[in-house]
Structure 1
Amino acid sequence: MRYPQGGGLTAERQQFREELRLKAAERFAQGEASSVIAKALRVNVRSVQRWRQKWEQGGPRALRSQGPASLPRLSQEQFAQLEAELAKAPTAHGWEDQRWTLARIKTVIGRRFHMA
């Protein structure tokens, strides 16, 4: 199952995670320990430590969401076409067995949508 943007977190989930990081920043400014912050926010201590490092380097602004990591290369229409192609057996695309692998899917995408 794909996320609404074709990959990554939903906008709501991105917002929620950003709010957590900004709450942590307020606590960093008060000098609270990472373990205390992690317990209060119900997150991993390592995450809080990474956030603290970013905060020390760039302040609260460094903890803002950067948006999606990447945009999908296929349009919604192309995703639908790809799903139709994958619904066919791999043998329909020239392979001898019935296994879909990532390499084979990449090949189908390249052939169908002329991508590398």
Structure 2
Amino acid sequence: MKTLIVRLFHVSYTVEGTWVFLKRHGWSWQQPARRASEGDDAAVELWKKETWPLVGAPRRPATPGSSSRTKPGSR
């Protein structure tokens, strides 16, 4: 919410100030339910088996790299 307020109103609040802002406007935080009531368990399992392994592949090389932008490949 804090980030959204900054993006929309270009005003930065502390965490405490954010809660005051929300309360002042009649809003409160909402905690989502643990599971969606319309969830399809079979579709979720299928997605986990077929799609997730493709998405979860490691993106970084296994070899150590360098954080230097001027000397690539050296430490």
TM normalised by structure 2 equals 0.35
TM normalised by structure 1 equals 0.25
Bigger proportion of residues as helix? 1
